């Protein structure tokens, strides 16, 4: 009687970590979904456009995800979109990894700054040493006239 595809487009899809797919035909807030699924966060699935070769064994196109964006409890899930439930354990694992990566990057950046400062200091010390050596060298080896005075009285006679 009706078009099934039109009905599916008017639904929002929630994918559970177990692989279960849940369809809802009305708008719902993230906090409501989280209450129904304790210990889980709701994330938006952001698909990457697939190529013709991206097909599984049954001929269906597979979808690749660029990232998963966690939603706020106050956000409302929109019809026609796909969402995924993510366990709080997975969220904490990702946050910990991001923190470690950030700390590693900051340490690396700090090491580079320290290295640059040490190199600059070494160059300045080297330049100072060269100037001191060349200055003392030029002072000791510089030409100084050693003129003896000529007595005018001796030449007058």
Give pTM, 2 decimals: 0.52
* Separation of alpha carbons 135 and 151, rounded Å: 36
**Residue 82: beta bridge partners?**
13
Q: Which domains does the chain have, with CATH numbers?
A: 4-50+57-95 (3.10.20)
3-state SS record for 97-154: HHHHHHHHHHHHHHHHHHHHHHHHHHHHHHHHHHHHHHHHHHHHHCCCCCCCCCCHHH
> Which parts of the chain have pLDDT scores under 50?
1-7
The predicted pLDDT at position 5 comes to: 43
The predicted pLDDT at position 65 comes to: 55
The predicted pLDDT at position 42 comes to: 94
């Amino acid at each position: 009687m009706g078009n099934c595809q039109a009905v599916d487009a008017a639904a929002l899809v929630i994918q559970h970590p177990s692989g279960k797919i849940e369809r809802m035909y009305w708008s719902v807030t993230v906090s409501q979904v989280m209450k129904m699924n304790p210990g889980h966060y709701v994330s938006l699935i952001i698909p990457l456009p697939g190529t013709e070769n991206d097909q599984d064994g049954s001929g269906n196109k597979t979808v690749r995800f660029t990232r998963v964006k966690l939603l706020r409890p106050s956000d409302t899930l929109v019809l026609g979109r796909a969402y995924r439930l993510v366990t709080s354990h997975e969220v904490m694992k990702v946050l910990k990894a991001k923190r470690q990566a950030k700390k590693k990057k900051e340490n690396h950046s700090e090491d580079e700054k320290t290295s640059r400062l040490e190199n600059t200091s070494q160059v300045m010390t080297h330049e100072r040493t060269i100037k001191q050596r060349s200055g003392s060298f030029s002072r000791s080896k510089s030409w100084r006239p050693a003129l003896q005075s000529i007595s005018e009285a001796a030449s007058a006679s």
